[in-house]
Copies of this chain bind each other. A is one copy, B any other.
Amino acid sequence: MKLQELLGIDLPLIQAPMAGVQNHALAAAVSNAGALGSLPCAMLDAAGLRSELSALRAKTAKPFNLNFFCHSPAPADPQREAAWRSALSPYYAEFGIDPASIAAGPGRQPFSGEMSEVLEEFRPAVVSFHFGLPSAELLARVKACGAKVLSSATTVEEALWLQERGVDAIIAQGLEAGGHRGHFLDRDISRQLGTFALLPQMVQAVRLPVIAAGGIADARGVRAAMALGAAGVQIGTAYLCCPEATTSAVHRAALNGPEARHTALTNLFSGRPARGIVNRLMRELGPLSPTAPGFPLATAAIAPLRSKAESLGSGDFSPLWAGQNASGCKAIAAAELTAELAKGFVAR
């Protein structure tokens, strides 16, 4: 079955869910343009999700995708937290922040029974997961709502694992992709492949539709992904400068500047490797630090630095999530961008 039929959409294009830089507004605009808009839910509680879903449904009658994380949160580790705060102490001093004032916070919650209840209420057309899948019981509840289920795979092994557990389609997340790496079977980053290598090998290995993600920035990229056997594409970075996104001013400036050419995987902002534009914190501590607390605990200690720096117009301490190809970022309406990207589906 074609991806469009499976998901009930006109264009086999998914706007990648991007927690922290978008809400229902971007999702609704993309869904109304005939593609699949996504709402990132990992940073919402049940009340927040209900509120976003009500706003989303008010803006579109089209299918949309709800994205959840399904990690096992790292247990609190006071010793590691102390080492991390000590590594950050010169920055606290520089900005006059009292470390004692920083609240611990989980940052991101995994998918849960409480969230399932919201899904049962709103019955979304599509639900996607990152970092694997929730428990079989929770997954069954999601499917019982009628939602089609997607999840990300960063290796052929992960794609086969997801297929065995009954997902409807698989997102091939190439190493170029921005934001959190979705790997869940093996932490060895060297196992993760670029889109050009990952996509055709995954297409060959599974019988499900494979959605290409990572490095796709324009219609040419869409055309290339389809040539490699993709059933559709998932695009995030290109949407970050649309007016419907909530991307901060410093983040937008970085995406449009030469610094966007240099991204790296970093665990400093959350505790898990995620791709963002290299900034001062990543340069000075190294993008991947063994001192950073586990996911999602690293977020709390950075938050006040980020907030203070952003208030001064600086992205030095912000997660400037971006893929390796930010050349498609444009300050145009999401519907217009979607129409431009969709030209890649038309045979030349």
Chain A residues with a Cβ under 8 A of chain B: 155-157, 174-176, 190-191, 193-198, 200-201, 204, 214-218, 220-221, 223-225, 227-229, 261-265, 278, 287, 323-325, 327, 347-348
Nearest chain B CB to A214 CB, angstrom units? 6
* B residues near A200, Cβ cutoff 8 Å: 217-218, 220-221, 325, 327
* B residues near A218, Cβ cutoff 8 Å: 200
Nearest chain B CB to A192 CB, angstrom units? 9
In the complex, are the beta carbons of A327 and B224 less than 8 A apart? no
A228: which of B194, B221, B348 is its contact (CB, 8 Å)?
A: B221
A215: which of B194, B217, B264, B325 is its contact (CB, 8 Å)?
A: B194
CA distance A306 to B21 in the complex (A): 51
Instruction: Answer whether A196 and B220 are a contact pair too, CB < 8 Å, given A175-B175, A278-B190.
Output: no
In the complex, are the beta carbons of A190 and B262 less than 8 A apart? yes
Instruction: Answer whether A201 and B262 are a contact pair too, CB < 8 Å, given A194-B324, A196-B224.
Output: no
CA distance A217 to B331 in the complex (A): 36
In the complex, are the beta carbons of A190 and B287 less than 8 A apart? yes
CA distance A201 to B197 in the complex (A): 18
CA distance A214 to B225 in the complex (A): 15
In the complex, are the beta carbons of B196 and A194 less than 8 A apart? yes
CA distance A193 to B262 in the complex (A): 9
In the complex, are the beta carbons of A220 and B227 less than 8 A apart? yes
The 3 closest A-B pairs by CB, nearest first: A194-B194, A196-B215, A197-B324
* B residues near A229, Cβ cutoff 8 Å: 220
With CB as the reference atom, state the residue of chain B lying closest to A189: B264
CA distance A347 to B347 in the complex (A): 10
Nearest chain B CB to A174 CB, angstrom units? 6
* B residues near A327, Cβ cutoff 8 Å: 200-201, 204
CA distance A287 to B264 in the complex (A): 19
* B residues near A325, Cβ cutoff 8 Å: 193, 196-197, 200-201
A176: which of B197, B217, B227, B264 is its contact (CB, 8 Å)?
A: B197
A-B contact list, 23 entries, CB within 8 Å = A156-B261, A174-B194, A174-B196, A176-B194, A176-B196, A176-B197, A190-B263, A190-B264, A190-B287, A194-B324, A195-B196, A196-B196, A196-B324, A196-B325, A197-B214, A197-B215, A197-B323, A198-B324, A200-B220, A200-B327, A201-B261, A221-B228, A224-B227
With CB as the reference atom, state the residue of chain B lying closest to A230: B224
Known contacts A190-B265, A220-B227; 18 additional CB pairs below 8 A are A157-B261, A174-B194, A176-B193, A190-B263, A190-B287, A193-B215, A194-B194, A194-B214, A194-B215, A200-B220, A200-B221, A200-B327, A201-B261, A201-B327, A220-B228, A224-B225, A227-B227, A347-B348
* B residues near A221, Cβ cutoff 8 Å: 196, 200, 228
With CB as the reference atom, state the residue of chain B lying closest to A201: B327
In the complex, are the beta carbons of A214 and B196 less than 8 A apart? yes
Nearest chain B CB to A3 CB, angstrom units? 18
Nearest chain B CB to A228 CB, angstrom units? 5
CA distance A347 to B264 in the complex (A): 36
Nearest chain B CB to A290 CB, angstrom units? 14
* B residues near A204, Cβ cutoff 8 Å: 327
CA distance A60 to B206 in the complex (A): 42
